Amino acid sequence: RESPMTIPEMLEHLEPGDCITHCFKSGSTRILDDDDSVFSAVRDASEAGVIFDVGHGYGSFNWDTCQASLDGGLEPTTISTDLHEKNLHGPVYDMPMTMSKFLHLGVPLERVVAMSTTRPAAVLGQADQLGTLRVGTVADVAVLERHVGRFRLTDSYRQDRVGEELLVASTTVRRGELVPGGGGLRMRHQVD
């Protein structure tokens, strides 16, 4: 569903620290103008501290929009999945898959990890407890394996790209307790 307001119109009502999500999509509520350039209002808002979140979901991640945004010098503040029952089996799957899509778009691993951990923790005002491995903080840890090969990566519009790297959760610890599972999706996405 499209909003009756464009992104620049929405931004007139936002302040530093406010978050706009589902904006790396196609359609009228994307962060690009008709020439596929980042709206100047978006750039200004980002520099002023408005948070731009991916919110991949079932209809909010478009390869072309994301690539044009990155090429135009604007990367998401945070990466999130908007994971729910209708996208759990594609195109989102999980957080490591969503992170892998940004590796494919050329974002270095260190920034992809920051957009998925320390930046969201800061946005939530929890940087002292979340997104860190400091002693005495909440013991939430995801151990990711970085696989090299050919992997099918799909956006919300069913556009496939073949990536050369795939992040897969091998171990998850939540509040100091091992969570079972992880690692099962790699083969599902391998291309020949």
- Percent of the chain as helix, strand, coil, to the nearest 5: 25, 20, 50
Instruction: Note the pLDDT tens digit of each residue in 110-162.
Output: 999 999 999 999 999 999 999 888 999 888 889 999 999 999 999 999 999 99
CB neighbours (10 Å) of residue 143? Answer: 12
Overall fold of domain 7-189: TIM Barrel (3.20.20)
Instruction: Note the pLDDT tens digit of each residue in 45-79.
Output: 999 999 999 999 999 999 999 999 999 999 999 99
